[in-house]
Amino acid sequence: MKARTCLVTGAGQGIGKAIAGRLSAAGHRVALTARDADRLDRTASGLPGPALALPGDVTTDVDAVFDAVEQRWGTVDVVVLNAGTASSAPLTGTTDEQWQRALEVNLTAPFRFLRRAVPGMTSAGWGRVVVIASIAAKRGDPYVTAYTASKHGVLGLVRAAAAELAGTGVTVNAVCPGFVDTAMTESTISNITAKTGRSAQEARRILENRQPIGRLITPGEVADAVELCLLSDAITGQSINVDGGAVQS
């Protein structure tokens, strides 16, 4: 694939950092956004190709991010929507603030980025949008009501947008990881430890055992699936599981 202009949200660490590195290594121009400017700069400086670090909040800075990329490189060809948030609480203990935050970051922000990206992509006759969702988009687990609802919602967004854009040269897909070896999973481990008294090693093993391969997914394995989504106009409206066989769909 020829060199494209790419935008990755939540690119300061973890999955987003791995995806940015993969796209850059493939010869693409990569714009990165995240709230932590220092992490973002470190990620950008480590990329082998052209990089543009744009600190910002995905809930408020959509137009500013796109404007900056377009001024530097023109139309954004590839958008990877990786930024996300998670919290854990019983259903009856989930606050309005937790619910709203999950929807705002995990569902409304991707909608706004997708809406902003589509006109340029359709005008060019080519575009790729990949949302990093979760296997929580496909099943329900206890104590993550807000997170699960937001991820189910974003998968619906992907499917509807893909159907609407079919035939334009623009594809929209989701990648649905299981438990990935990232800071977010470390936070989950800490939460399990605090609530159950188990050691961090025991808590990690619980999450590893949720996946038939018996280990956490690596950020690079999620990046593999993102690369797959860029290959063909025929791959659209899909939700690709990267979970070691936990959810077979």
Active site residues: 147
Taking residue 146's Cβ as centre, other Cβ atoms within 10 Å add up to 24
Tokens of 175: 């990648």
Rounded Cα distance between 111 and 193, Å, is 35
Task: Render the chain in DSSP notation, one character per residue.
Answer: ----EEEEESTTSHHHHHHHHHHHHTT-EEEEE-S-HHHHHHHHHT-SS-EEE----TTT-HHHHHHHHHHHHSS--EEEE-------B-GGG--HHHHHHHHIIIIIHHHHHHHHHHHHHHHHT-EEEEEE--GGGTS--TTBHHHHHHHHHHHHHHHHHHHHHTTTTEEEEEEEE-SBSSHHHHHHHHHHHHHH---HHHHHHHHHHTSTTSSPBPHHHHHHHHHHHTS-TT--S-EEEESTTSS--
